[in-house]
Each structure stands twice: as C-alpha cells, then as structure tokens.
Amino acid sequence: MTDLAGKVALVTGGSRGIGEAVARRFAGRGAQVIILHSSSPDDAQSVADSLPGPGHRQVQASVSDSAALAVVAENIRSTEGRLNYLINNAGWSTVIAHHELDELTDEIFDRIFATNVAGVFRCCRAFGPIIKESPDGGAIVNISSNAARTGMGSNIAYCASKLAVESMTQTLARVFCPEVRVLAVAPGMTLTPLAEMWGEEELSKRAQLNAMKRHATPDEMASGIVAAAADFTFSTGNVFLTDGGRWLF
C-alpha cells in the first residue's frame, strides 16, 4: 500500500458509518483528512480528533448547497493548498416497499436525488478542479450500491439514484482525465447505523442473498474505497462491486 503522507482527502458524510471508517483508513496511511458533514459537528469533530496524525479537521456544508461547497473549496485552497482525494459518501434514503408507489412521495423522491445524485455532481464540480490542480492529481470515488444493478434497494428512487451515480462516474472520468481518476464503489449491505432502518429480521434475510452469507463491516467497505482511490492507479471510469458476491445469485 502506498504511503499517503502529504496527501489530503475530503470525505463527505464522514462523521459516522462507512464515511468514518474511510477517514480512519486514510489517516492510518498518513493522509490528512477533512470531514465534510451537513449537521453533525460534534460527531465530526470527535472523529477528526481521534484520527492519528496532524491536521485533520471538519467542515460543515450540505452537498445540496452549491454556494456552501464553493466556500469550502476556497477554504481548502487557502488552507491546505491541495486536495488529492474526494470520497462522495454522503447519501440519504428511507425504506419504502417497492409496490407502495404512493408512499414514495415527490418530496422523498426529490430529496433522494438531490442528495445522492445532484450532491455527488455538486461536490465533483466544486472539488474536482482542486484535485486536478494539485501535484500528482488524485482520485474521486463515488459511493454507489449493488442496488443499482439488483433493483433491490431501500426504495425505487434509491436504486435509480445509484445507477445514475454510476453513469455520472463514467462521464466525469472523461471530464477529469488524465489528472484525476473517477471511480465508483458499489457496496452491499453494510452494518452501519443507517442499516438499522431495515430491522433485524430483514437484515438477517438479506444476509442470505450473497455468497458470503453475511453483511459487511464499515471497515471492510472502507478498505476497498481507499484502495480504489489510492492504489488502483491505472483505473478510471470503473465501478467496483464490494457486495459479497450478491451478483452471483
């Protein structure tokens, strides 16, 4: 694994779950980590304070707010002077049975796409140019889901939003090459606080749908995400499944 000393990584939704595990993985390899969150300053600061190495910090901005993201981008330019990795981890969903079409209201549908799709684009637009300007460039990793291909996510809009992320990963890879690689990682069910919305019985059932017969830990997901960003140096525009072999069934 490459030593990431001197590199700077920005992790959206980095105050808990997979995002927190990604922050810990980057810091453990020597990178400075900036945690971007929308509404959890105490949790984000606690994570930043607990990371090994100097310079870790948290910033507050919603991925739905382009103006706020532009302010953060200028702050990174003036403070760190570079950015090497952007992990687009922030997302939102809620469980709605797919046949309950009326339960998937316009407001829920729009919120999912505003966060999961438009939010990814806004972050790439705000922070991608800084990576492109930085010495040695770097990578953007967008977090998709195996729901993009199986159609078995928390609701119909969520599945569609993650497939949109994968399509956008391909187009942005063309936009930012060759200085910036753009990849997506598509996790299966991961035991984060967000997974609790499924309930214990449904989680147990879904664990039997993949070849590993279990769900992933946040650190397992983080290892793949950081590897995609830092180690897969001749890959761009690709989507990496980290779903325990769900696609086999």
Classified as helix, coil or strand, 141 is strand
Structure tokens at 82: 């570079």
Residue type for 64, please? S
Which one, of 145, 181, 177, lies nearest residue 164 by Cα? 145
Distance from the first to the final alpha carbon of the chain: 32
Please give the Cα distance from 1 to 24 (Å, whole number): 15
Sign for the CA dihedral angle at 161, 162, 166, 168 comes to: positive
Q: Which of 121, 127, 158, 176 is catalytic?
A: 158
Given a contact cutoff of 8 angstroms between Cβ atoms, the answer to whether 216 and 209 are in contact is no
Is 85 one of the annotated active-site residues of the chain? no
Partnered with residue 87 across adjacent β-strands are: 11, 141
Question: Is the bond leading into 193 cis (omega within 30 degrees of zero)?
Answer: no
Query: Residue 143 is encoded by which pair of tokens?
Result: 């977090």
Whether 108 contacts 94, CB under 8 Å: yes
Q: Which residues are catalytic?
A: 158
